[in-house]
Structures are given as C-alpha cells and as structure tokens.
Amino acid sequence: MSTALVILAAGKGTRMNSDLPKVLHPIAQASMLEHAMAAGRALDPERTVVVAGHEAEQVRAAVAEIDPEAEVVLQTEQLGTGHAVRQAQAALEGFAGDIVVLYGDTPFVSPDTLEQMIAARARADLVILGFEAADPARYGRLVMQGESLEKIVEYKDATEAERAITFCNSGLMVCGAEVMFRLLDKVGNDNASGEYYLTDLVELARIEALTVTAVACAESETLGVNSRADLAMADAVFQARARAELLELGVTLMAPETVYLAFDTYIGRDTVIEPNVVFGPGVTVESGALIRAFSHLEGCHVSRGAKVGPYARLRPGAELAEDTHIGNFVEIKNAEIAAGAKVNHLSYIGDASVGEATNIGAGTITCNYDGVMKHRTEIGARAFIGSNTCLVAPVTIGDEALTATGAVITKNVAAGDLAIARAEQTNKPGYARKLMDMLRAKKARMSKG
C-alpha cells in the first residue's frame, strides 16, 4: 500500500513567544519540521503535504529546502486538527493509499513506530498512536475496549472518569485516504473548543462499523514542544540519545554531557572527543581522530588520525586529510588540508589548499577577501610557511617552497624557492643603552621641576 504524509504545521505556537513559526525552531540544529519529515521519509511516502498557516511563507521556504517534492497547503484559519487535514484533500486528489498524519511539533516519533502503525493498518481501518503518559495533563484520552479504540475524548470534553485514563493520544494516525476524507466531511465543531477535531474520526468510524485500534509508543517519542522550556528539554533528550548512540558505536566522549551534537553528526569508532566540543550541522569525523577540548566544527570532514584543537574552529568546507594537525586558535574554512600537513597555532586558512606534509607557521593568515571578492591560496606539498606570514590571495606557493617569517606574500613562489618579503634589519650598536639613559634623565628633570 502506498502512503502519503500529511504534516500539520499551521498552529501558532503562542507560548514560544517568537516571530519564527513554532515548527521551524531547531532541535540539534534541524527544525522540528525537518525531524518530523525525516521520520516520515522512512516510510518512503508517495506524497508529502505540509499544512501551513501561521507564517506560512517561512514554512513554505523551509519545506522547499528540506524536500522540494513536498507540497505546502494553506490553512488560513486554524479551526482545528480535523479542519487542518481537510486542507490537504485537494493536494491528495487521486491518491488512494494510506494517509499518515504527523505533527510538525512532535519531532521524535521513530521510523520504527511509524512502521508499526502501518503494520497495524492490516488489521484496522484507522490506527491511532497512543502512549502511557506519566502526567496525562491535557492530552486527549484513548477509551479502549480490548484491542478496539472506542473513542478519543479531549481533556476539555472529558468526564472525571475519562480524565483518569492515562493512555493518551499522540495525535498521529494512519487511515485510508478515501475513508479519512469521507469521515472528515462529517466532523463538526460542537465541542468545548468549538474546533473541528481530527480525533472525532474514531467515533465516526465506529458508527460505520469500521475497525479502529491504537498502537503504543514510548512517551519520549511523542514529546511535543509548546514553549522554549519544552524546546530546551527536547534538545536535551536528543543530545542524551545521540551521545549514547556514539558511545555504543565505540566513540570515546571524555565528558559526554559537555559535547553538543547536531542532528546529522557522524563520528567513526575509536575517535576521541575531549570535553566541550560543539558540532554544527554537516560534520563527519572518521575513525581514530582526536578532537580536543573547546573546538567548534561545522560542515567539515575530518579524516582518520587527524588531531584537531584544543580551541580549533573548522568551518564549512574544511576538509582535513589523514594525520593532519590543526592546533589551537586556528580557523579553517573552505580549504583542503592534505595528508600530514600541520597548521598548529593561531592561523586563518580560508579558500585554500595546503599540500601534503606542508607546515604552516604560527600566525599565518590567508588574506582571501579584498572587500568585494574571495580569492584562493594554493600551497604545494612539503612547503614551509614561516610564522606570521600573510598570503595575499590569489597566490600560489610551489612544492617545497619556503617563505621567510613575517612575510607579506603577494607574488607566486615557484617550487623549491625561498621568498623573503620584509624590511631588512639594521642594528645600531649601543643605541639601546643611550636611549634609555636619555629617557631616564628626562624623567628625573621633570619630577624635580
């Protein structure tokens, strides 16, 4: 059976107190919407429809980046979850498979759970995802009779007895497209909130003698985000899970709770991560690397045996080959550092390539930006760049070339050549003492006068 995802993302998220629509707030540097869409993608959906409302243009732009095939439909007024799903009907014209309803603000549902829901569809017309709530609070309650789900009662509409139920509605469901839209037509808004409840589908299905069941998942998967505090908690949950996975894979985290990971951080086994390292999106670190304390990495690739930090910054496009060393207070951006090359102290290497086994002296700067355009610096293999060198791009340094300390290199240096570009030193014998004596005498005169 083919599936289509309908992802609800029109809600305002008032309690986020933000100009950014709630579903675009990030957890581990990917929006909640991206997390939800990624989980849904595991079902290999034929179509994906996102229902947007508040700040719909921002949502539309985000969706286009996450999945250009996904369609965004507008729910101009937020009249309830049932009303929201109906907005996807036109976009799903002609689709006869199963519809999986996801929430954009429920980012942690696992692909495994979604697959269990699909599996349960073989025995029921409508499948709801429920969970045992530690604190059921204001969740909708699932009224079960054995395997069969009789109805969902919203907290506001529930009796005391129903409020005592702890098996709650996550909001996620699977239903055949034809049944779903036929039943949605019948949903009214005569309830405590005056909203069109998606949850009414359960009772409407029962009236038609259709079968309805619930699948249970861990409460952590249904964690919804309504406030910044929830967002911080969701991030913490993600971090704890991702760190545990890395430890399991054979990565050493010296102080796991101080390492901040992104949703897509990949680290190979036997790599050691020292305390207080931050991973932005798009980082892969191969096996057997060492990332030392207080380093910040994003959009980069670190190969086997490389040593990074402490206090190193790898920015997008930093490509470190095997056994490279990037030391303290070094920034690398959009640059390939070939095997065995070293940039150990206080340098900026941007828009550049550094050849094999080349040594970049302390304080070397690639001057890549002229105020308007960016230019490249190419450095060959086994070259030696003296300390405190400015490489004014575009510029090329050949293999085994050498630049003297303190040089401002504006012209290419051929392979094997030595470039010196600094004012020559003159020594004045005895002048230092003379100068000091003169200054001390002057000070003595001033304090008398």
Q: Shortest Cβ distance from residue 271 to ligand UD1 (Å)?
A: 37
Q: Which stretch binds ligand UD1 (CB under 6 A): 101-109, 230-238, 279-287, 353-361?
A: 101-109
Kindly state whether residue 204 participates in binding ligand UD1, applying the rule CB under 6 A.
Answer: no
197 binds ligand UD1 (CB under 6 A): yes
Q: N- to C-terminal Cα distance for the chain?
A: 101
Cα–Cα distance between 89 and 111 in angstroms, integer? 24
Contacts with ligand UD1, 218-237, as mask; x by CB under 6 A: ------x-------------
Beta strands in 60-164 (DSSP E): 71-74, 98-103, 126-132, 141-145, 148-153
Angle, CA 198 vertex, CA 192 and CA 199 arms, to 5°: 70
Classified as helix, coil or strand, 139 is coil
Residue count of the chain: 449
Q: d(Cα 354, Cα 350) in Å, to the nearest integer?
A: 10
Catalytic residues, by residue number, are: 345
Should residue 10 be labelled a site residue for ligand UD1 when binding is judged by CB under 6 A?
A: yes
Instruction: Between 62 and 379, name the residue whose CB sits nearer to ligand UD1.
Output: 62
- Least distance CB 319 / ligand UD1 (angstroms): 39
Segment contacting ligand UD1 (CB under 6 A): 3-11, 364-372, 419-427, 431-439? 3-11
**Residue 79 is a binding residue for ligand UD1 (CB under 6 A):** yes
| Interaction of residue 37 with ligand UD1, rule CB under 6 A | no
Near ligand UD1 by CB under 6 A, which window of 195-203, 323-331, 353-361, 432-440?
A: 195-203
Q: What residues have CB less than 8 Å from 197, skipping those under 6 apart?
A: 80, 81, 82, 152, 154, 187, 189, 191
User: Interface with ligand UD1 includes 104 (CB under 6 A)?
Assistant: yes
276 lines the binding site for ligand UD1 (CB under 6 A):
no
Any contact of residue 67 with ligand UD1 (CB under 6 A)?
Answer: no
Q: At what angle do helices 32-41 and 111-120 cross, to 10 degrees?
A: 50
Q: Which of 168, 234, 332, 391 binds ligand UD1 (CB under 6 A)?
A: 168
SS3 320: strand
**Rounded (10°) angle between helices 32-41 and 56-66:** 40
Q: Which stretch binds ligand UD1 (CB under 6 A): 37-45, 99-107, 278-286, 354-362?
A: 99-107
Residue 24 lies near ligand UD1 (rule: CB under 6 A): no
What's the sign of the alpha-carbon dihedral 424, 430, 433, 436? negative
Applying CB under 6 A, which residues contact ligand UD1?
8-11, 51, 53, 75, 78-81, 83-84, 103-105, 139-140, 152, 154, 168-171, 197-199, 224
